[in-house]
Structure 1
Amino acid sequence: MNNQKTNKLKIINDPIYGFITIPNSLIFDIIEHPYFQRLRRVTQMGLSNMVYPGANHTRFHHAIGCMHLMQKAVYVLRNKNVEISDEEANALYIAILLHDIGHGAFSHALEHSIVNGITHEEISLKFMRALNDEFNSKLSLAIQIFEGKYHRQFLYQLISSQLDIDRLDYLKRDSFYTGVAEGNISSERLIAMMNVVEDELVIEQKGIYSVEKFIIARRLMYWQVYLHKTGLVAEITLVNVLKRAKELALKGVELYASRALKYFLYTPISENNFTNNTLKIFSELDDYDVMSAIKDWVHHEDFVLSSLAKMIIHRNLLKIEIQEEPFANTYIAAIHKNILENSNIKESDLNYFVLSNKIKHQAYNTNDPIKIYTKKGELKDIAKASDQLNLKALSKPVIKHYLCYPKKIV
């Protein structure tokens, strides 16, 4: 029995942090659970590997990394006389470990196409509750903290805020795997500067430059990586191929798909009918199901489905233009006309091939400020405490407009 217990305190080797220790046997059992193991088959960055070939790391990597950073944060805060009980610490590790468990295949693509009646946050909660039932209510406190219902606010801020453990891991991890050095933040330094004042998570004054670098790194990573135009058009195409598949499925067209994918294509999903059985099937759905279906759809007789599938499989994507101003209707109309005259695309299918919308990113949100704890014992919003003028600029949302259309035609 003893031997089995020791075996559960395994060590995981992470390319960024080195050795990560699993803190106890309950967390080991959660990691071993099929619901969590699915995250090994869900990529952290969707189709970004079409731009950055190294970006193949998974949600599993990220969740384990978050748990490791949370252990560091608890250690630092306890050393500064912030009382965190063993039960609270364990709940934090579980909450951060499971914060992304509801993400579907290719992260956000499913949410905008075939499982669009419910958000990944709501699915995460359903997974947590199902695991809580299995583990004799041992996740109750973790769920309470995750939902922001626990009376100690700073614990929730560690899970979800502008300087939460989630962001501290994914910026560093995504920067490492993409090779985009601008995103390489010092998560260890930021954690070392954390403190709690009046139940609020704050950063001590000497950590101010690390916070500035973190906010700037976040902005650079968004425009250079997460909203990179090729990654963006790949994601849009993926959403559209799944939308088209669902449209055909609901008309009764026969489509190749795995058992789990078939369920979500042929069943309209909303929050009301997302039962425990739906959750079980969702837990079997990952990137592999989606990609193997798309590979088969390349040969489907539906022109729209096969064209979009080919774009992804052969990485021959739509052309994308991005600019500050909305695209003129006359310009879009001219592209429509050109496509209808020079291709097999029907007018009713145009919206699958010509798309215009906007993307928006705000590097820093003053409504949920990162507080700096000054040497005089005052709490200041980083945007006011910083002598960097550009931090004020970074709190303004940046909006860009995009237009995608087939390359060959125009």
Structure 2
Amino acid sequence: MNKLKILNDPIYGFITIPNSLIFDLIQHKYFQRLRRVTQMGLSYMVYPGAHHTRFHHAIGCVHLMQQAVKVLRFKGVNINNEEENALYIAILLHDIGHGPFSHAMEHSIVNNISHEEISLLFMERLNKEFNGSLTLAIEIFKGNYHRKFMYQLISGQFDMDRADYLKRDSFYTGVAEGHVNSERLITMLNAVDDKLVVEEKGIYSVEKFIIARRLMYWQVYLHKTGIVAEQLLIRVLKRAKELTLKGIKLEASLPLQYFLNHSISIDDFNNDILNLFSQLDDFDIISAMKAWQYHNDFVLSNICEMIINRNLLKIKIKNKPIKNQSLEKQILAFIQTHNISRAEAEYFVFSGSISNQAYQLKQQGINILHKSGKIEDIVKASDQLNLKALSKPVTKYYICYPKVKV
């Protein structure tokens, strides 16, 4: 069987699968599930084209990692075949632990377990199936490998993950401001003393990358309609769990029923639960909501109907925290209108905050390599833009409430 397949990607054109192990991992049912998990959650309610999946993204990341390895080797950085393969595996599987609709599930299906932790569990399970051939990839993924630039390629402020998702999300949403020249940036990469650096001539591309990230967060990832949709989705699952624990049986797929019936933490994730989690995808949630919109529970049916028919709550975003009296006014009005309890009303009227930090100064930054050999952070190296301002977190506050006059 020919395992060195070529895939046609709308962003990069033809992508080659580098070896048979990568092919076998892509073919595995755990990875194939990512075809059924959207990359951007419910953002397609704002940007109709944003139906691309975690599968698309992971394949794109492998392609960019191939480019990065080629560039670094050309510049004399020694990367042996085992390390090269480990980099491909680590970037291919970096998002394998995402649940349905990506981030929304981390707050509802499981208890405060990040997708990175679940990704690691999947990788360790696959490592047993593939006779230990993922061991080095896991060490790099965890940041334990002594060659730190390899971890930076997987998870850094300019890594193959961000290089792909900014370009891909920009393409599928049609938001041109997020477009980054990933290939140009990768061509400028080098490694000095096992640290990832960008050569001085790539400085303007790095500036563009940081600004594109900031714009994509405000315009796309933190778009107010997307925030409402995700918050409602979190509340659907919270309510479904609440009803299930009271003994009310809800129509749902077997894996979804299990997670509604049980409170799962990271310590509970044995092989059986991991298998059940691997059967969950966007379709479980959508089909459940289609059934639940007709349930006799006021909260569950109304929120499901809102999401299914995109009849969402109103949202206002402010620069200052929402005043309690504003929230209270909306809650009391909703209780009066529908004759429901305060606890039920709080599913429809709530406030929260969103934060955007385009560049994190205190973390491992993006280092610029000057021709003199001097290495400095992009914030100090940049002469055109006040990148320091972009390294400060910007927080905004929102209030959501039903579209009725109060």
Which of the five TM-score ranges fits, normalised by the shorter chain? over 0.9
SS in 2 for 1:400: strand
Cα distance change on mapping 1:409 and 1:259 into 2, 3 Å: farther
2:386 alignment partner in structure 1: 390
Q: 1:210 aligns with which of 200, 205, 213?
A: 205
Size of the aligned set, in residue pairs, is: 405
Return 5+ residue gaps in structure 1 as ranges.
Answer: none
Return 5+ residue gaps in structure 2 as ranges.
Answer: none
Q: What's the TM-score, normalizing by structure 2?
A: 0.99
Q: Counterpart amino acid of 1:315?
A: R
Structure 2: distance between partners of 1:403 and 1:41:
31
Once the two structures are superposed, the pairs formed by residues 179-194 of structure 1 within 5 Å of their partners are 179-194=174-189
Checking the alignment, whether the CA contact within 8 Å between 1:145 and 1:156 is kept in structure 2 is yes
SS in 2 for 1:23: coil
Q: Which runs of 4+ in 1 moved over 6 A?
A: none
Q: How much has 1:250 moved relative to structure 2? A: 1.1
Q: 2:106 aligns with which of 84, 108, 111?
A: 111
Q: 1:342 aligns with which of 331, 337, 360?
A: 337
* Matched-pair identity in %: 67
Q: How much has 1:343 moved relative to structure 2? A: 2.5
Once the two structures are superposed, the pairs formed by residues 31-70 of structure 1 within 5 Å of their partners are 31-70=26-65
Of the structure 1 ranges 315-324 and 110-119, higher mean CA displacement relative to structure 2 is found in 110-119
Structure 2: distance between partners of 1:122 and 1:177:
28
Structure 1: distance between partners of 2:339 and 2:402:
12
Q: How much has 1:332 moved relative to structure 2? A: 1.5
Q: How much has 1:388 moved relative to structure 2? A: 2.6
SS in 2 for 1:254: coil
Q: How much has 1:272 moved relative to structure 2? A: 1.6
Aligned pair 1:375/2:351, yes or no?
no
Q: How much has 1:345 moved relative to structure 2? A: 3.4
Q: How much has 1:342 moved relative to structure 2? A: 2.0
Once the two structures are superposed, the pairs formed by residues 281-296 of structure 1 within 5 Å of their partners are 281-296=276-291
Structure 2: distance between partners of 1:389 and 1:31:
41
Q: How much has 1:252 moved relative to structure 2? A: 1.2
Once the two structures are superposed, the pairs formed by residues 94-243 of structure 1 within 5 Å of their partners are 94-243=89-238
Q: 1:275 aligns with which of 267, 270, 276?
A: 270
Structure 2: distance between partners of 1:342 and 1:113:
28
Q: How much has 1:403 moved relative to structure 2? A: 0.4
Q: Counterpart amino acid of 1:353?
A: F
Structure 1: distance between partners of 2:301 and 2:78:
58
1:312 alignment partner in structure 2: 307
Checking the alignment, whether the CA contact within 8 Å between 1:342 and 1:409 is kept in structure 2 is no
Structure 2: distance between partners of 1:254 and 1:20:
46
Q: How much has 1:117 moved relative to structure 2? A: 4.0
Checking the alignment, whether the CA contact within 8 Å between 2:111 and 2:263 is kept in structure 1 is no
Q: Counterpart amino acid of 1:76?
A: V
Structure 2: distance between partners of 1:333 and 1:117:
28
Structure 2: distance between partners of 1:123 and 1:33:
16
Q: Counterpart amino acid of 1:170?
A: Y
Q: 1:21 aligns with which of 16, 19, 30?
A: 16
Structure 2: distance between partners of 1:92 and 1:113:
32
Q: How much has 1:409 moved relative to structure 2? A: 4.4
Structure 2: distance between partners of 1:225 and 1:116:
27
Q: Counterpart amino acid of 2:118?
A: I
Of the structure 1 ranges 92-101 and 340-349, higher mean CA displacement relative to structure 2 is found in 340-349
